[in-house]
Amino acid sequence: MFNSNESEFLKFSNVTKIFKSGHLKTYALDSVSFSLMENEILSVVGESGSGKSTLGLIAIAMETYNSGNVYFEGREIKKLKRKELRKFREKSQMIFQDPYESLNPFNSIYTSVSTPLYGFHSKMPYDEKRKSVIKILNDVGLMPATEYIDEFPTKLSGGQRQRASIARSFILNPKFIVADEPTSMLDASSVAEILTLLKKMKEQYKYSMLYISHDIASAHYISDRMVVMNLGRIIESGSSDEIVNHPAHPYTKKLIDSVPKLGEKLDNIENVNFIPKYINGGMKGCTYSNICPIARDKCKTERPELFDLGNNHYVACFYPLI
Amino acid sequence: MSDILSIKNLSVVYKTSNRETSALKSININFRSHEIAAIVGESGSGKSTMGLAIMKLISDPGKITSGEVIYHGDQDIDIMGLDAGELRRFRWKTISMVFQASMNSLNPVTRVRDQFMDTFAAHSMKQDDKMIDFLLEHSGLSNNVKNMYPNQLSGGMKQRVNIALALACNPKILIADEPTTALDVVVQREILEYLASLKNKLNLTIIFITHDISLASMVADRMFIFYDGRVIESGDTEEIINNPLHPYTKKLLSLIISLKSVNNLKFYMPDKKNYNKSNSGCSYYNNCPIRSSACLKYDYHEIINNNHMVKCINVDKVINNV
Ligand SMILES: Nc1ncnc2c1ncn2[C@@H]1O[C@H](COP(=O)(O)OP(=O)(O)O)[C@@H](O)[C@H]1O
Ligand SMILES: Nc1ncnc2c1ncn2[C@@H]1O[C@H](COP(=O)(O)OP(=O)(O)O)[C@@H](O)[C@H]1O
Ligand SMILES: [Mg+2]
Ligand SMILES: [Mg+2]
C-alpha cells in the first residue's frame, strides 16, 4: 500500500453524486474512492459521461455530493470554515478545456491573468502585479512576455491561449490543480506542447494535480498513476506504465486499443460497430457488462469491487485480463 | 488511378474592415478516383476554406480570387463556373461535405428519418425510406434510430447520422471536415473505421480534413500538409510518415503523443504567428530551424519522386540531417 511517509493530499471515500431529472437518476459518481498524494499528478481517464468532470468539480469544492467523504490535507472539505474555504480556493485552481471560453476576448492578457491577484491580493501594488504577470507569462513560454501582456486573446493561437489560461491558474502559486481535458480543443501538435509545459511547471511550482482526460495516451504521458472510470465508477487504478502495458479491465483495454497509432492501417473494415449511449441509473452489476465482450451472467447482477492484483494495481472485474 | 478532381491555382482571401487574410495561396491538388486523401494542418491553415471552395460555398467576407476546380466526370466541369441552378444539381449529388462541428447543429426537434427526408427534398430527390435504411445499415446504426431525436443519440451516433446525411444523394466525392474532433478516442476510432469502410462499400473518393497527422495516416492513401494556406508537402502516406522532408512536417510527427511517448518529447516554444507576410517565399520562415535568407526569395518547390512534393529550398539539409 501507500508509503506512510507520503501524505495523502486529497482523498475521496465512497463518494456518490446523483443527478436527478424528473424520474431519471444518473449516478455521475457511484461510490468512488481514491487518493491523490502530495506532489503527484494523478490522471482520471474515461469516456465522456463517465463522471470525470463531476469528480473534478467536487475535488475543488465547486460541486456538492450526496454521500461519502472528501478530505483535503486530512480535513473534510464539507467542514471547512469560511476563512479556511477561502484559503482552499486561493490554493486550488482549475484549468478548463476551452481556452476560448476561459479567457474573456475583451480583456487583455494582463487583465485575465492578473484577475486572481485582484481577488486575493488586492493591496498588492500595480507594479508588483505586473511583474508577477510577466514572470508567469515567461514561465508558460509566452516569451518575451512584453510582446504578449497587452495583447488580446483573439491575436493568439489555440495553444497560446491555453498557455495564457494556464498562466492565470498559476499566478497564485497554487498547491492543487484540476485540469479538466485541458487539451481536447487543441490541435494535435499543441497537445504535446501543453502537456510538456504542465510537466515542466511542476518542477518549478510544486503542486498536486488531477489530470482529467478521455485520452489514455496523454494520461500515460503526463502522470505516474491513473484511475480509469466507466459510468461513474473507478474500474481500474495503478501505475500508468503498468495499466497501459498490462490492462486488466476489458474497458481499459478498449481505451488503449482506440489510441490512434501512426501508420496503423484501418483498411478492409467490414463491421462498423458502435457503442450506444448508456447512463448509470444505479446499476447492480458491472457498468461495462452491457457491452463487455467477455461478460458472463454474474457480471450483470453483482458489482465487482476493486481488488489488488499486486504492485498497487487494482481492478474491478470478475474476469480480469491478467 | 485517374484524377477525379483538380484544384488549380486556387486562392481565397477573407477581407474584413481591419484585415485581409490570404487563406489559400494558389494551391494545386489533383485528387484521384477512389482514394482517401488527407488534408493535414494546424487550425487556421486553410483546410476548411479549401473544402468550402471546392463546393463553391465561400461567401462574404471571403472571395475566391483566382483558380479553378475541375470535376472530371463524363466531361470536365469547372465548378467555379457553375450558376446557382447548376450548383444545386451538383452539390450533394456529385460532391458532398460534412461540415466542421456540424453534428451538433442537427435540428433537435426533427426525427432522424425526417432529417433525411428534408435532405432529399432540398436536393429534389425521391423521398426513399429504402435509401435511409441502406445508409443507416452501412453506418452501423440500427433501423430504430430513424425514429429518434438527435438528443437521444450519443456523440458517435450523431456523427454517423450526420455523415449518412451527406451521403443521402449518393455523391462521388465526400469531404469530411474534422469529423472526429471533439469526440472521445473510442468514438473517434469508430468514426474513422466507418469512413474507411465507405471507400470500398460506396466506391467513394474521400477528402479527409484533420489537424491530427496520426489519424490521417491510419486511413489516407495520400497526405497533403497545409501550412498558412499552402500545401508545403504532399505524397503517399507511407512516404510522408517514413521520409518527411519539410521541417514543419517533421515537427508535426515529432509531437505525436502515443502510448510509447515518455519523457522524450521536445519542449517547443509556441510558434510565432507572424508568418512571412510577403507572397513569395516560405511561410514557415520565422519558426524554421534550418532557414536561410534564400527562403524568403521565391516560392520554391521540388518533386523528390513521382508522388513526393516538398516546398523547402533547404531540402538537402533535411536529407543530410543537418
Ligand atoms: N449538472 C448536471 N445535471 C444533470 N446531469 C449531469 C450534470 N452534470 C453531469 N451530469 C451527468 O452525469 C454524468 C457524468 O457527467 P460528467 O461528470 O460531465 O462526465 P465526464 O466529464 O466524464 O464527461 C453524465 O451522465 C452527465 O450527463
Ligand atoms: N469567415 C471568415 N472571415 C474572416 N476570416 C476567416 C473566415 N473564415 C476563415 N478565415 C481565416 O482564414 C484562415 C483559414 O481558415 P480555415 O480555412 O478555417 O482554416 P482551418 O480549417 O485550417 O482551421 C484563418 O486565418 C481564418 O482566420
Ligand atoms: Mg467532462
Ligand atoms: Mg477548419
Cell output for A188: 494535435
b/e per residue A87-125 (b: at least 16 CB within 10 A): ebbbbbbbbbbbbeebbeeeebbbbbbbebbeeebeeee
Residue A117 is given by DSSP the state H
pLDDT at res. A267: 65
List phi, psi (to 5°) of B76. Answer: -75, 135
Substitution target in B19, B39, B167, B186 with the highest count of A β-carbons within 10 Å is B186
pLDDT at res. A6: 59
pLDDT tens-digit map of A109-137: 999 999 999 999 999 999 999 999 999 99
Q: Is B21 on the interface with A (CB under 8 A)?
A: no
How many A×B Cβ pairs under 8 Å? Answer: 166
Domains of chain A, by residue range, sit at 8-315
The verdict on a CB contact (< 8 Å) between B188 and A142 is no
pTM of the model: 0.94
CATH homologous superfamily of A8-315 = P-loop containing nucleotide triphosphate hydrolases (3.40.50.300)
Q: Cell 481514491 belongs to which residue?
A: A34
Residue B320 is given by DSSP the state T
pLDDT at res. B191: 92
List phi, psi (to 5°) of A101. Answer: -85, -35
Q: Is B212 on the interface with A (CB under 8 A)?
A: yes
The verdict on a CB contact (< 8 Å) between A275 and B154 is yes
Give the residue whose CA is nearest to atom 16 of ligand 2: B46
Q: Is A51 left (phi over 0), alpha (psi -120 to 50) or beta?
A: left
Tell me the mean pLDDT in the region B215-230: 96
Exposure on the CB side of residue A193, measured as CA atoms within 13 A? 22
Q: How far apart are CA B206 and CA B220, in angstroms?
A: 9
pLDDT at res. A1: 36
pLDDT tens-digit map of B149-202: 998 888 889 999 999 999 999 999 999 999 998 899 999 998 999 999 999 889
Q: Residue A313: pLDDT above 90?
A: yes
CA angle in degrees (0–180, nearest 5) for B172-B177-B180: 115
pLDDT tens-digit map of A13-34: 999 999 999 889 999 999 999 9
Strand B230-236 versus strand B173-177 pairing type: unpaired
Give the residue whose CA is nearest to atom 7 of ligand 1: A19
Q: Could you tell me the strand order of the sheet in which B76-78 lies? A: B20-32, B3-15, B62-72, B76-78
pLDDT at res. B103: 86
Tell me the mean pLDDT in the region A79-91: 92
Supply the ipTM of this predicted assembly: 0.90
Q: Is A50 on the interface with B (CB under 8 A)?
A: no
Name which of B167, B162, B79 is nearest B115 in CA terms. Answer: B162
pLDDT at res. A5: 44
Q: Is B10 on the interface with A (CB under 8 A)?
A: no
Tell me the mean pLDDT in the region A193-211: 91
Q: A249 C-alpha to center of ligand 2: Å?
A: 43
Q: How far apart are CA B196 and CA B36, in angstroms?
A: 8
Spell out the long-range contacts of B78-82 with Cβ–Cβ below 8 A and sequence spacing 24 or more: B79/B54, B79/B55, B80/B56, B82/B56
Length of chain A: 322
B140 in Cβ contact with B160 (< 8 Å): yes
A317 in Cβ contact with A286 (< 8 Å): yes
Q: What is the distance in angstroms between the Cα of A255 and the nearest Cα belonging to chain B?
A: 6
A236 in Cβ contact with B103 (< 8 Å): no
